[in-house]
Chain A
Amino acid sequence: MRKAWRGVVILLATTAFFLAVVFFLIHITPQPPVVEMDQSRKALYDAQRNRADLYSKKLYNQARVFYDSAMVNWQKENKKFIYLRNFEKVARFAGLATKKATQASENSVSSASNFKVTLKQKIESLNGLTAKIDDMFETYPLTSEVRSRISKGKILLEEANVAYDKGQFLQANRKLTDSEYLLTESYEYANSNLKNYFKSYSVWRNWVDKTVKESQKNNDYSIIIDKFSRKCMIYLSGTKKFEFDAELGKNWVGDKRVRGDQATPEGMYKIVKKFDSNRTKYYKALLLDYPNEEDKEKFRADVARGILPASARMGGLIEIHGNGGKGIDWTEGCIALTDNEMDSVFRIAKVGTPVTIIGSMLDLQHVMNR
């Protein structure tokens, strides 16, 4: 019996000793920074939820690198003999990861909010620009290339709107940048083209004054064509009597320079021939003395200066004719009126009636504020 008791006591003592050893060994085991790692993981997850991977990319990536470094170091330490492990580096990396992830998160929330406001402003500004382009250059003969750039810019703006509404701000920003480039460039091109064109305004004004005075002095009819407003105005004795809508050459901006440029010339001309319906395919026509001496001289100078090639030929056969009313600038450089209006003009016009063609009666400021 005593022997049995002795056995139990020995067993208990051995177990207690064994447990004590185990607890001692556990106690002296280096502890990994579990709490710190958990904090940094949570901070990273929060940062990702706040889209720091998009709006605070640098800080977020730094946080990720620190977290990954912590994990790598942790695994490296785990491979060492248990009592030789040192988790200080792991804890340091975890702390840095938490710090960077928190910063990234905060930064992202504030950036996204500011970004949203900036994008909205940009969208509104570009909407304004497209409205301006539509208002000012709706019927201006911009090249098809410029027109399609404007069209592309508008579509990109719409795509930016869709992305913005979905909260995809970075995508919206990329689209807006492309749209802004296309629209601004097109607007600036069109605007500078328009400004250049209006540099001749004082000359046009001078021609108009002369033509009106001539009409007053001769107590006779004079015709003025305003290309910008597409009007054909009939003056009698210095007073405007009629005004008709006119259609011009497809490429009406600027003076006519060469045959086939589809431009309507600018200058002071006279009617040299009248063609009734039997002698023109355009209902009725009034042939102008284009090119006049001034036009010829200018053409020769342009060829001499190399502005025009030596093979260039002068245009001609510019008329005021019928078949108009198409609602578009379609002629090769002539001025087209509706047949009814052509009848009226044909009745009053005679060989020698002055026809002055100008860019615009109104100055650029007025044209832009129309």
Chain B
Amino acid sequence: MKNKIFMGIAAVAMVAVLSSCGKKPQVEIDATNTAIEAAKTAEAAVYVPTEFAAVQDSMTAIMADVAAQESKLFKKYGPAKLKLVATLDLAKKVATDAAAKKEEVKKEAEASLAGIKTVLDENKTLMTKAPRGKEGAAVLEQIKTESAGIEASVAEAQGLFDKGTYMDALNKIKAATVSANNINTELKDAIAKVKGGKAKPAAAPAKKK
């Protein structure tokens, strides 16, 4: 009788050992998925795309691992759980990094917006000083049209900035800054030529390249 009891206990213990860690880590999976969603909401795909792709790939690998364990007679979710914990941390870090990067881009866009507005204001002042001799005024008219186009582009960038799409806003401002700087150089060159007496006062501003 004693032996039978002993054997029964041994069998139960064996089954318990073999099927230990047999519960699917659903809580951890949900938590990690939530963290990945949070990173997505933090625009990780825009601001830290490589890191975000790595997190997504980790999750895909873990889900395959979980599915593999589910296929087994005796399931072992221990390694998957550990990976889930690591991926959860990574997803949280990616979300934080994305927010930091977004803030960085926001600041850059803000500074660039302020910078281009200064250049545009300076261009307006330079236009009043630019030579208006033969064809000069006509070229100035064109510059005015181009400046109006740049101002419209800056307004669009401001709209994007206000909507929180800082990366797109920054790209737009960068392009507008190149155009505004070209005009600035053109005007300064034309004014310098007149002041330096290298050209007749009637000369038009340097031809745009």
In the complex, the number of residue pairs spanning A and B with C-beta atoms less than 8 Å apart equals 136
How many of B's residues come within 8 Å of A, CB to CB? 52
A-B contact pairs, 26 of them (CB 8 A): A11-B6, A14-B7, A18-B14, A32-B71, A41-B64, A44-B57, A49-B50, A71-B67, A75-B70, A78-B67, A87-B71, A134-B208, A135-B207, A139-B139, A148-B148, A151-B150, A155-B150, A155-B176, A159-B153, A162-B175, A245-B134, A325-B134, A325-B202, A326-B137, A327-B138, A328-B141
- B163-190: CB near A (< 8 Å → 1, else 0) gives 0000000011011101100000000000
Kindly state the separation between the CA atoms of A144 and B149 in the bound complex, as whole angstroms.
12
Tell me whether A329 and B138 are in contact (CB under 8 A): yes
> A26, A74, A159 — which one has the most chain B CB atoms within 10 A of its CB?
A159
Tell me whether A325 and B61 are in contact (CB under 8 A): no
Kindly state the separation between the CA atoms of A14 and B9 in the bound complex, as whole angstroms.
13
Among A154, A159, A327, point to the contact of B134 (Cβ < 8 A): A327
Tell me whether A11 and B10 are in contact (CB under 8 A): yes
Among A74, A134, A147, A327, point to the contact of B204 (Cβ < 8 A): A327
Contacts beyond the supplied A71-B67, A74-B67: 16 A-B pairs with Cβ under 8 Å: A7-B3, A14-B10, A26-B73, A37-B68, A41-B60, A48-B57, A85-B71, A87-B71, A138-B142, A139-B138, A158-B175, A158-B176, A159-B153, A325-B202, A327-B136, A329-B138
Task: Flag whether A82 is at the interface (Cβ < 8 A).
Answer: yes
Q: Which residues of A contact B60 (CB under 8 A)?
A: 41, 44-45
The A interface, classified by DSSP as helix, strand, loop or mixed, is helix
Task: Flag whether B133 is at the interface (Cβ < 8 A).
Answer: yes
Interfacial residues, chain B to chain A (CB-CB below 8 A): 3, 6-7, 10-11, 14, 18, 50, 53, 57, 60-61, 63-64, 67-68, 70-74, 131-142, 145-146, 148-150, 152-153, 171-172, 174-176, 178-179, 202, 204, 207-209
Tell me whether A18 and B11 are in contact (CB under 8 A): yes
Kindly state the separation between the CA atoms of A159 and B141 in the bound complex, as whole angstroms.
23
Kindly state the separation between the CA atoms of A343 and B19 in the bound complex, as whole angstroms.
111
Return A249 CB to nearest CB of chain B, in Å: 13
Tell me whether A77 and B149 are in contact (CB under 8 A): no
Return B209 CB to nearest CB of chain A, in Å: 7
Q: Which residues of B contact A155 (CB under 8 A)?
A: 149-150, 153, 175-176, 179
Q: Which residues of A contact B209 (CB under 8 A)?
A: 131
Given contacts A148-B149, A158-B178, contact A41 B135 (CB under 8 A): no
Tell me whether A327 and B71 are in contact (CB under 8 A): no
Among B53, B61, B74, B175, point to the contact of A48 (Cβ < 8 A): B53
Q: Which residues of A contact B135 (CB under 8 A)?
A: 138-139, 327
Task: Flag whether A152 is at the interface (Cβ < 8 A).
Answer: yes
